[in-house]
Amino acid sequence: MTAYFDSFNKTGRLIGPGGCEGFAAILDNDTAGLFEFNSDGSTLEIGLALKPSFIGKGLGATFVRDGIEFGVQYYHCKHDVVKLVVNAQNKAAIHVYEKVGFTKIEQTENDIEMRLVLKER
């Protein structure tokens, strides 16, 4: 999170590692998580984190779907694919991503790359 606060203090914008744009997700006036977006041609790469106090409460799939929908609207739906990378040990997150419709594309010892093909709008 430090990179975001530093960029906000310098530029007034939330810019994270690699130049991605960051957005806070708010639930009941509390920061529930963070979504990062990096727009690259027809692919929207995302990074996300749900606040630990919200994990295990059945919010994961909704958080992911709503974050993707926000990104699609924000970037005016120029993308065919949403991509993310998840730690291979994070079974709960992988389950949520698969529930949303992501499929595994490539796996290394530590990470799994997943993608979601967006339906025509």
Q: Of 96, 116, 104, 105, which Cα lies nearest the Cα of 46?
A: 116
Local structure of residue 88 (DSSP, 8 states): T
CA distances in angstroms from 21 to 12, 40, 66, 87, 106, listed in the order given: 12, 12, 16, 21, 25
- Domain region containing 11: 2-117
Spell out where the chain has E strands: 21-27, 30-40, 43-50, 81-87, 103-107, 111-117
Instruction: Please answer whether residues 74 and 37 qualify as being in contact, where contact means their C-beta atoms are separated by less than 8 angstroms.
Output: yes
Q: What's the pLDDT at 103?
A: 97
pTM comes to: 0.83
Query: Which CATH number goes with the domain that contains 26?
Result: 3.40.630.30
Taking only the tens of pLDDT, the chain with its 121 residues reads 566 667 777 877 766 666 677 788 888 888 888 898 888 778 899 999 898 898 999 999 999 999 999 998 888 867 789 999 999 999 999 999 999 999 999 999 999 999 999 875 4
- Vertex 22, ends 80 and 79: CA angle to 5°? 10
CA distances in angstroms from 56 to 4, 20, 47, listed in the order given: 26, 27, 19
Q: What's the pLDDT at 120?
A: 59
Number of domains observed in the structure of the chain: 1
3-state secondary structure of 62: helix
